[in-house]
């Protein structure tokens, strides 16, 4: 991780928004970007204005940071994320979490699109992350220890905070949006999984699979932020149906689910106490 780059990013945001004191953060993954429209947006800044963050380069990722507000909670919304499979290291992935930590936020909701492994997770389902499996083959905290990320060996027993998972259940009820819970497994991508890999992931306890979220969640948890995770299931994982997977399917499913994604996130913002 390049700490000089992390600080350059922080300076750029501080310069643009000297008054910003976000209480929480929202990272919007594939197909999630439009959820930002449900918030009151004060200002936005393209990722290209933030050193080290750069362009996302993935369809369905807007590449914009919004300073927003809802339910009295000032929020930094990251419309689009960087991925490990882009091959440019951990710095762009760590920047959103570093910014939130240094600007004083105490809670982060990380969202993604994922493939459903469990039978009761068809496309269009929202799934709260109860836990995760890091199958990326690497870890953003490998390297010299920096106290900004807490102790050398951060605990992950309650990585997705039980009280936030409970708030998600209340939000789902209030928004009348069905919500499932499950374990998310992050694989590196950029290929989708093989059917044999999905059978393996199922046996080791994964309910849904994707290529993101885990790095931001473990960094934020290590840094002392309370973390919540939310997947929009966009397809059945490879081999569950006898048909190939595509990114178009992912974008289509999030488009269909968008009204539920928006109303759920707003209710969740109303439910949480910071």
Q: 56 or 75: whose CB is closer to ligand HPA?
A: 56
C-beta neighbour count of 212 within 10 angstroms: 27
Q: 9 or 233: whose CB is closer to ligand HPA?
A: 233
How far is the C-alpha of 183 from the C-alpha of 206, rounded, in Å? 5
Quick check: 185 and 127 in contact, CB under 8 A? Answer: no
Binding segment for ligand HPA (CB under 6 A), chosen from 14-22, 125-133, 170-178, 230-238, is 230-238
Q: 137 or 143: whose CB is closer to ligand HPA?
A: 137
Q: State the nearest-atom distance from the C-beta of 222 to ligand HPA, in Å.
A: 24
To the query of whether residue 83 is one of the catalytic residues in this protein, the response is yes
Q: Which residues of 61-71 are buried (b: 16+ CB within 10 A; e: fewer)?
A: bbbbbbbbbbe
Is 28 near ligand HPA (CB under 6 A)?
A: no
To the query of whether residue 212 is one of the catalytic residues in this protein, the response is yes
Tell how far CA 217 is from the center of its chain: 7
Among the options 45, 85, 181, 256, which is catalytic?
85
To the query of whether residue 70 is one of the catalytic residues in this protein, the response is no
C-beta neighbour count of 133 within 10 angstroms: 17
To the query of whether residue 33 is one of the catalytic residues in this protein, the response is no
Burial class (CB in 10 A: 0-12, 13-18, 19+), 59: exposed
Binding segment for ligand HPA (CB under 6 A), chosen from 57-65, 99-107, 132-140, 209-217, is 209-217
Binding segment for ligand HPA (CB under 6 A), chosen from 16-24, 45-53, 108-116, 222-230, is 108-116
* Full DSSP string of 133-163: EEESS--TT-SS--GGG-SSS---TTSB-HH
Q: Which residues bind ligand HPA (CB under 6 A)?
A: 113-115, 192-193, 209-211, 234-235, 237, 245, 250
């Amino acid at each position: 991780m390049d700490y000089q780059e992390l600080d350059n990013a922080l300076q750029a945001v501080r310069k643009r928004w000297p008054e910003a004191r976000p209480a929480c953060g929202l990272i919007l993954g594939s197909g999630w970007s439009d959820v930002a429209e449900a918030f009151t947006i004060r200002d936005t800044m393209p990722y290209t204005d933030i050193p080290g963050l750069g362009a996302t380069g993935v369809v369905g990722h807007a590449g914009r940071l919004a300073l927003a507000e809802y339910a009295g909670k000032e929020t930094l919304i990251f419309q689009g994320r960087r991925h490990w499979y882009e091959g440019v290291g951990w710095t762009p992935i760590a920047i959103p979490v570093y910014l939130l930590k240094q600007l004083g936020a105490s809670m982060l909701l990380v969202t993604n699109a994922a493939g459903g492994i469990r039978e009761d997770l068809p496309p269009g389902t929202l799934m709260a992350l109860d836990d995760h499996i890091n199958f990326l083959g690497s870890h953003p905290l490998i390297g010299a220890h920096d106290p900004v990320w807490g102790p050398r060996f951060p605990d992950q027993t309650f990585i997705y905070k039980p009280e936030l998972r409970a708030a998600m259940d209340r939000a789902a009820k209030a928004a009348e949006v069905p919500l499932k819970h499950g374990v998310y497994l992050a694989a590196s991508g950029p290929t989708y999984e093989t059917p044999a890999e999905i059978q393996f992931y199922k046996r080791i306890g994964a309910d849904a699979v994707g290529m993101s979220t885990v790095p931001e969640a473990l960094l934020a948890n290590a840094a002392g932020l309370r973390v919540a995770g939310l997947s929009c299931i966009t397809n059945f994982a490879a081999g569950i149906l006898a048909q190939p997977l595509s990114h178009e399917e992912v974008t289509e499913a999030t488009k269909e689910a968008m009204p539920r994604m928006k109303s759920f996130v707003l209710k969740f913002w109303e439910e949480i106490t910071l």
